[in-house]
Amino acid sequence: MTTTTLQQPGAPAEHEEHPKHNLTGFIIFLCSESVIFLAFFSGYALLKTSALNWLPNGVEGLEWRMPLINTIVLVSSSGTIALAEHFKNRENMALFRGFWLMSMAMGAYFLYGQAVEWSGLQFGFTSGTFGGTFYLLTGFHGLHVATGILLMGLMLIKSFIPGNYKGGEQGVQATSLFWHFVDVIWIILFLLIYVWQ
């Protein structure tokens, strides 16, 4: 992955990343990523409104209590991650790590709840358009939650490098933005799948 090996001695080695642009690039990425969800959401709505038999045979509807608890946990983790970021800015690394870890745990709980829900469902991925879109939407979102947890883990490890977060390091900010993004997507998803039945 290094570029320097390709360069002749004496050539300037100027082509490193420009950290101050990372956040700009990341925000542009999130805007773009939201369009995939928008495509899935509109596909879901279109298929649902035009379907003759939306639910597969024998399926009454989706149980919403467990997912609601899941939703509350995930949305609250947006608060804890904001707190973590706040303490990072005040250079209180202990509280930063505490709240950061808590957000990770809440994300993990969400994924666990999702797995429990999936395993108890009466329908599969190929059970008509309802099954397909349900697993596609929740699965694709779940993939983002997992990515978020991984990113948070990475940032947690990086926080143990002495002085790493003093120079305006933007990984924390970007991860936190990503996590809020994942939450907002989930709220729309919850309304679309569980509330609108």
Residues found near other proteins in the complex (CB under 8 A): 1, 3, 6-8, 10-12, 14-18, 20-22, 24-25, 28-29, 31-36, 38-40, 43, 46-47, 50-53, 125-126, 128-133, 136
Is the Cβ of residue 11 or residue 94 nearer to other proteins in the bound state?
Answer: 11
**Structure token pair of residue 2:** 């290094």
Could you give the CA distance from residue 56 to residue 168 in angstroms, rounded to a whole number? 52
- Closest distance of CB 105 from other proteins, Å: 30
Q: Which residues contact 37 (CB under 8 A, 6 or more apart)?
A: 140, 141, 185, 188, 189
- Closest distance of CB 9 from other proteins, Å: 9
Is the Cβ of residue 53 or residue 162 nearer to other proteins in the bound state?
Answer: 53
- Closest distance of CB 29 from other proteins, Å: 5
Q: Which of 124, 136, 155 is nearest to 57 (CA)?
A: 124
Is the Cβ of residue 8 or residue 94 nearer to other proteins in the bound state?
Answer: 8
Question: How big is the chain by its Cα radius of gyration, in Å?
Answer: 21
Beta strands, E only, the chain:
none
Could you give the CA distance from residue 141 to residue 189 in angstroms, rounded to a whole number? 9
- Closest distance of CB 128 from other proteins, Å: 5
Is the Cβ of residue 50 or residue 119 nearer to other proteins in the bound state?
Answer: 50
